Structure 1
Amino acid sequence: MTRQRFSAHIGYLYTDLPLVERPAAAARDGFTAIEHPEPWSIPAKDMRALLADLGLTFSQVTSGMGDANRGEKGLAALSGREAEFRAGFDRALDYAVAIGCPFVHPMAGVPKGDVLDAAETYRLNLSWALIRAQGSGVRVLVEAITIPGYHMGSLALTAQLQDQFHGCFDLLFDTYHAAVLGEDPVRWVAQNAKRIGHVHAADHPGRHEPGTGALAFDRILAALQGAGYAGAIGFEYIPSVTTSASAAFLPGWKRLLSEKVSP
């Protein structure tokens, strides 16, 4: 496992600060990467310079979120929104390439119409995105999310789809969503680590920082490390205190990994 790739999801963390100030706050607290679903207010050239100045990398970006005021959590499975989906994916892919981000996550969304129509729309949009990303150095992510009605709502479904696409995309594994789905994160990682391109860590219940709930993160880390996981761990949690105070677990995680990883 890469020792120092701890990624602050600055859509959840440091929300008391303007977006442009959040990367520096993350670096000060010991994170070595950041991620955000829609960082467009910071032009790519400025983001690249900011990352270089702070010694950070950018872990993953989302494409085509849709209208949050209408409860949209992505566009990929929404029939009739194909043109908007493609424009959003192109924007995210161009941004990712420009800043050296390895992943784009085209969120499936919450379709309102026919389930079969949504499934076909999603497969066609995903196929298009995979073709679009070829040769870019950027991989596509798919995540099981426990939002009611979300099209990709189970780990089994994401794994099945990944197999159908012959591993052409990676899974974003979220410890909180896995627990909500009744999965044992340790067992699932041990059995499926080869599927994972990116990890999100939040405790359960509560979706707060690690150490506030019941998840055994030492065992989850050991399972990832034992499987040779080399990606980033992103922290997409709701801080129970200030973000800086909530990040007090980071030194312990770094020590744990440094003790288990050979120099």
Structure 2
Amino acid sequence: MPRFAANLTLLYTELPFLDRAAAAARDGFEAVECQFPYEHPAAEFAARLADSGLPLVLMNAPPGDAAAGERGLAALPGRQADFRHAIDTALAYASVVRCPRLHVMAGRLPAGTERAALQPTFVENLAWAARQAAGTGVDLLIEPINLRDMPGYFLNRQDHAHEIVQLVNAPNLKVQMDLYHCQVVEGDVAMKLRQYLPTGRVGHLQVAGVPERQEPDIGELNAAYLFDVIDALGYGGWVGCEYRPRGETSAGLGWRQR
């Protein structure tokens, strides 16, 4: 059975954010992850994590102006200064909460822009960020995200993400492989796992049911089969549970026992 991390942004939303790690610990999770914790002081979040006994294994770097619809800055020409500030902010926060992985979001295509035109900026920014993170113990991750949930997002496919990682060629830049997004965009998830996990370029997995992004035992993915594939491939990292529960979070965790 893989090691599961509760996503504190989508799970336990019936509780205040800072109370969620303790709830995850009570339910038997071994770790937690989250999206954007920055509204909470890093020291306070770190203390609550310590009280829960669970490590924070993944968080996102700031995405830019989220209220205006921005979903990352890394691929956006002309936003390099904002991107660098976001990475510096994320690395400082990660140091306090002892988080070893940062998801760096690419961003949405500006109107009238071709995808290929953004790739040089994406590669250049990631190379800079990888140099900034070198020696900190933090890996940077890029994640293909489906266009149904996030229209216009720059990075959508596993092969493109791995191409970018190879172009940057930094040991601390890896792919965040969300099986939900992979199924929506590409399908053939088990074969994708068999293709990419052995490369060592996958730094984190996530899972949710398809198509509603609910518990992983709901919908068209056979999660139990995929977990067996992950085990057979010798993956020793975390599987983030980044889904929207149908109801109260704890009541929906029967899939884990099954």
Letter in 1 for 2:246: S
- SS of residue in 1 equivalent to 2:253: helix
- Aligned counterpart in structure 1 of residue 162 of structure 2, from 143, 159, 162: 159
Is the Cα contact below 8 Å between 1:97 and 1:137 reproduced in 2?
A: no
- Aligned counterpart in structure 1 of residue 246 of structure 2, from 240, 250, 263: 240
- SS of residue in 1 equivalent to 2:103: strand
Aligned pair 1:207/2:210, yes or no? no
Match of 1:256 in 2: none
Match of 1:119 in 2: 119
Identity of aligned residues (%): 38
TM-score by length of structure 2 reads 0.91
Name the CA distance, whole Å, in 1 between partners of 2:253 and 2:63. 27
Kindly report which structure 2 residues correspond to 1:1-263, keeping only aligned pairs within 5 A, or say none: 5-113=3-111, 114-115=113-114, 116-146=116-146, 147-166=150-169, 168=171, 169-193=173-197, 194-252=200-258
Name the CA distance, whole Å, in 2 between partners of 1:120 and 1:52. 40
- SS of residue in 2 equivalent to 1:211: coil
Is the Cα contact below 8 Å between 1:76 and 1:121 reproduced in 2?
A: yes
Name the CA distance, whole Å, in 1 between partners of 2:102 and 2:155. 16
Deviates more, 1:237-246 or 1:41-50: 41-50
Q: CA deviation at 1:167?
A: 5.6
- SS of residue in 1 equivalent to 2:217: coil
Name the CA distance, whole Å, in 2 between partners of 1:197 and 1:232. 9
Is the Cα contact below 8 Å between 1:65 and 1:75 reproduced in 2?
A: yes
Is the Cα contact below 8 Å between 2:207 and 2:239 reproduced in 1?
A: yes
Name the CA distance, whole Å, in 2 between partners of 1:106 and 1:126. 8
Is the Cα contact below 8 Å between 1:174 and 1:201 reproduced in 2?
A: yes
Is the Cα contact below 8 Å between 1:30 and 1:250 reproduced in 2?
A: no
Letter in 2 for 1:12: L
- SS of residue in 2 equivalent to 1:218: helix
Deviates more, 1:128-137 or 1:41-50: 41-50
Letter in 2 for 1:213: G
Is the Cα contact below 8 Å between 1:209 and 1:239 reproduced in 2?
A: yes
Task: Report the count of equivalent residues.
Answer: 250
Letter in 2 for 1:178: C
Letter in 2 for 1:250: R
TM-score by length of structure 1 reads 0.89
Deviates more, 1:206-215 or 1:13-22: 13-22
What's the RMSD between the two structures over aligned residues? 1.7
Gaps of 5+ in 2: none
Deviates more, 1:107-116 or 1:174-183: 107-116
Gaps of 5+ in 1: 253-263
